[in-house]
Every structure is written in structure tokens, then in C-alpha cells.
Amino acid sequence: MTDISIDPPQGWEDTKEQAAIRACISIALDGKDPIERAKVASDLITMLRDQILTDLAQVRISAVKEARTTMEPRDIVAASGMTQATVYRLLNGRHGG
């Protein structure tokens, strides 16, 4: 087993947050064989995807509720591309989260 380092692509400059994430991932994968690394990486991807989707849902809810103060639901549908059912669900707090 070899030590692993997750380095940015050539010419890429990480933000402080990206560098911190790379360091944490390197620590999580260090000393593991390729199969274990693949499993850990898969779990990390799933966790990050779930977090992103949760955050996006909150953004959508906030946007719809904010728009509701100045727009009718049909206008929100037209402007956002969301379905009428989605807009009403978000407005009524039934968003599955």
C-alpha cells in the first residue's frame, strides 16, 4: 500500500476550503488498498451529493417563499421552470426534507 495524496490538477489553485477537503480526503484514504479507497470514495461522494441536494432544496424553498411575496404561483412557475405541483408543494412546506 502506498500513501495517497489528492493533488489538484496542474494549473489549478485551490481555495482554502478545497485545500482543506483535499487534505481530509487524503487522510481518509491514506493506507487503504484500492478496493477500500474505492468504497470510502463512494461513501464520500454519496455524502457530498446528499448534502448538496439538501442545500439546493433549501435554496429552492427560500427562493419560492421569497418570490411569493411579490409573485403569484403561476408567475413563479413561468419564471423558474418548476412545475406547478412543485411550486405549490414548496409553498405549502411539503418538500420531503
| 69 vs 26: CA distance, rounded Å | 46
| pLDDT < 50: residue spans in the chain | 1, 97
CA 58 to chain centre: 11
Query: Apex CA 74: angle with CA 68 and CA 76, to 5°?
Result: 50
pLDDT tens-place string over residues 70-86:
888 888 888 888 888 98
Pair 48, 38: CB distance under 8 Å: no
Question: What does each C-alpha distance from 26 to 30, 39, 61, 63, 93 come to in angstroms?
Answer: 6, 14, 35, 36, 39
| 4 vs 26: CA distance, rounded Å | 6
pTM: 0.55
Look up residue 67 and give its three cell numbers.
418570490
Domain ranges of the chain: 32-91
